[in-house]
């Protein structure tokens, strides 16, 4: 039987930071208010596209795996913020990587997109239709933040993470995955007008996130909890058999509630939301890369992961890690830095959403 081992990993965290104190200069809020409700201290914002971030994370994952781009059969981009609806952004990444023979498609299940993508690519390897794939999560959600919505504008950050998976006869990689979607829950988390219906024929596009926190919290904990129960049962495991838990990084209270429901100690849970905020489809691969860098992931570990996103989509998986936790190589590729402050970067966004931030722009200082 084929399995799909994770052999490479890479991330891109944009260098521009928006701290909670910075956020308080735009919105009526404070570091204490944000951190106590979410666990977030800062978020990264990007000056380049979703595709560009995804490309660099993928380059780094290929280098870590020691795999040539020309040997890749499939590129999957999980994202809610693609550059275009048509053509897909995965094709841009494939071309820039030089993955000449690879198929490429985007997958949008909101924050669950990367986990859905890992499940799909793993099943394709198990079926024998491909041998090597790159699964990327990349998001530029800073573009659609309504700066007048105090309850949600601080929640999200930008970034990208990627993994290379390869066919193996060893029982490694995503052993069992569960994809699900909570019924009748679409309206509690969505971006009206972020698409083709209604069709926009003018430039007057105003995207503003609808966010019902209590309903999301309840549905997320139950949806992920149910998916986790399914994958544990499928593998004949209990929570005690799990060495490490890498959950979606949406809110530290959700993570804590889920760990409590599983009776799972927080010292075995990867939490990086303080550094990145919610990076949607990039959240789990970013957290996985950080866990490898910090030494939290050890050879042979049994790892649990779970996610949820708008829809409300949910998913969970059991990953068996291999022997290698060090990259085979390092990529020399990079993205040139932005020449300016985070407030310069967001000037158009502030103006579009009517934020009172003119006094923060470098040219006015």
DSSP E strands: which ranges in the chain?
3-12, 16-19, 42-45, 74-78, 103-107, 132-139, 159-168, 173-181, 189-190, 210-211, 244-247, 302-309, 313-320
pLDDT level of residue 272 (50, 70, 90 thresholds) = very high
Residues 27-71: pLDDT tens digits? 889 999 999 999 999 999 999 999 999 999 999 999 999 999 999
Q: Report which of residues 224 and 265 the model is more confident about.
A: 265
Catalytic-role residue among 108, 278, 289, 314: 278
Q: CA-CA distance, 62 to 149, in Å (whole number)?
A: 39
Q: How far is CA 183 from CA 186, 187, 248, in A?
A: 8, 11, 20
Q: CA-CA distance, 181 to 332, in Å (whole number)?
A: 40
DSSP E strands: which ranges in 212-342?
244-247, 302-309, 313-320
pLDDT level of residue 365 (50, 70, 90 thresholds) = very low
pLDDT level of residue 97 (50, 70, 90 thresholds) = very high
Cβ atoms of residues 201 and 180 within 8 Å: no
Q: CA-CA distance, 67 to 85, in Å (whole number)?
A: 29
Q: Does some domain include residue 345?
A: no
Q: What is the mean pLDDT of residues 139-162?
A: 88
* CATH (domain of 299): 3.40.47.10
Catalytic-role residue among 248, 251, 289, 314: 248
pLDDT level of residue 252 (50, 70, 90 thresholds) = very high
- Indicate whether 223 pLDDT > 80: yes
- Indicate whether 107 pLDDT > 90: yes
Q: Does some domain include residue 331?
A: no
What secondary structure letter does DSSP report for 128?
T
Q: CA-CA distance, 168 to 131, in Å (whole number)?
A: 9
- Indicate whether 98 pLDDT > 70: yes
Q: Report which of residues 284 and 349 the model is more confident about.
A: 284
Which of 215-229, 253-267, 284-298 is modeled with the greatest confidence? 284-298
Q: Which of 11, 311, 49, 43 is nearest to 155 (CA)?
A: 43
Q: Report which of residues 152 and 48 the model is more confident about.
A: 48
State phi, psi for 317 to the nearest 5 degrees: -160, 155
Known active-site residue 111: yes
Known active-site residue 248: yes
Known active-site residue 86: no
Task: Give residue 192's pLDDT.
Answer: 58
- Indicate whether 152 pLDDT > 70: yes
Q: How many residues does the chain have?
A: 365
Q: Does some domain include residue 293?
A: yes
Q: Does some domain include residue 127?
A: yes
Least confident among 4-18, 90-104, 159-173, 306-320: 306-320
- Indicate whether 363 pLDDT > 80: no
Q: How many domains does the chain have?
A: 1
pLDDT level of residue 213 (50, 70, 90 thresholds) = low
Task: Give residue 362's pLDDT.
Answer: 46
pLDDT level of residue 298 (50, 70, 90 thresholds) = very high
Task: Give residue 261's pLDDT.
Answer: 87
Catalytic-role residue among 111, 153, 188, 289: 111
Task: Give residue 109's pLDDT.
Answer: 82
- Indicate whether 303 pLDDT > 60: yes
pLDDT level of residue 364 (50, 70, 90 thresholds) = very low
Quick one: which H or E segment has residue 177? Answer: strand 173-181
Q: Does some domain include residue 289?
A: yes
Q: What is the mean pLDDT of residues 261-282?
A: 95
Task: Give residue 262's pLDDT.
Answer: 87
Q: Does some domain include residue 355?
A: no
Q: What is the mean pLDDT of residues 14-30?
A: 93
DSSP E strands: which ranges in 108-172?
132-139, 159-168
What value does the mean pLDDT of the chain take?
Answer: 89
pLDDT level of residue 187 (50, 70, 90 thresholds) = low
Cβ atoms of residues 317 and 122 within 8 Å: no
Q: Does some domain include residue 335?
A: no
Q: Does some domain include residue 351?
A: no
pLDDT level of residue 228 (50, 70, 90 thresholds) = very high
Residue 138 domain boundaries = 3-320
Task: Give residue 147's pLDDT.
Answer: 84
Task: Give residue 85's pLDDT.
Answer: 81
């Amino acid at each position: 039987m084929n399995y799909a081992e994770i052999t490479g990993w890479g991330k891109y965290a944009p260098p521009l930071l928006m701290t909670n104190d910075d956020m308080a200069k735009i919105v009526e809020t404070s570091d204490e208010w944000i951190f106590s409700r979410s666990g977030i201290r800062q978020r990264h914002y990007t000056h380049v596209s979703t595709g560009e971030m995804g490309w660099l994370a993928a380059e780094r994952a290929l280098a870590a795996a020691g795999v040539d781009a020309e040997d890749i059969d499939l590129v999957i981009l999980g994202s809610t913020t693609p550059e275009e609806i048509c053509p897909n952004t995965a094709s841009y990444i494939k071309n820039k990587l030089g993955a000449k023979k690879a198929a490429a498609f985007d997958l949008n299940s909101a924050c669950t997109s990367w986990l859905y993508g890992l499940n799909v690519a793993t099943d394709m390897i198990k079926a024998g239709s491909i041998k090597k794939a790159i699964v990327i999560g990349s998001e530029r959600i800073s573009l659609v933040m309504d700066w007048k919505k105090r309850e949600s504008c601080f929640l999200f950050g930008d970034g990208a993470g990627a993994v290379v998976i390869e066919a193996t006869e060893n029982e490694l990689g995503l052993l069992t995955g569960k994809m699900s979607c909570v019924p009748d829950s679409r309206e509690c988390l969505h971006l009206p007008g972020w698409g083709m219906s209604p069709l926009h024929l003018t430039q007057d596009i105003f995207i503003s996130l609808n966010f019902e926190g209590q309903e999301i919290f309840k549905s997320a904990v139950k949806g992920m909890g149910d998916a986790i129960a399914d994958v544990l049962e499928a593998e004949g495991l209990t929570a005690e058999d799990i060495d490490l838990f890498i959950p979606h990084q949406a809110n530290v209270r959700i993570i804590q509630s889920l760990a409590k429901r599983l009776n799972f100690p927080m010292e075995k849970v990867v939490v990086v939301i303080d550094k990145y905020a919610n990076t949607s489809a990039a959240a789990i691969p970013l957290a996985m890369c950080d866990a490898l860098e910090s030494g939290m992931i050890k050879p042979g570990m049994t790892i649990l992961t779970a996610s949820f996103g708008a829809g409300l989509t949910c998913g969970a998986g059991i990953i068996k890690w291999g022997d290698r936790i060090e990259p085979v190589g390092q990529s020399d590729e990079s993205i040139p830095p932005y020449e300016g402050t985070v407030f310069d970067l967001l000037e158009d966004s502030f103006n579009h959403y009517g934020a009172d931030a003119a006094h923060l722009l470098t040219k006015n200082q």
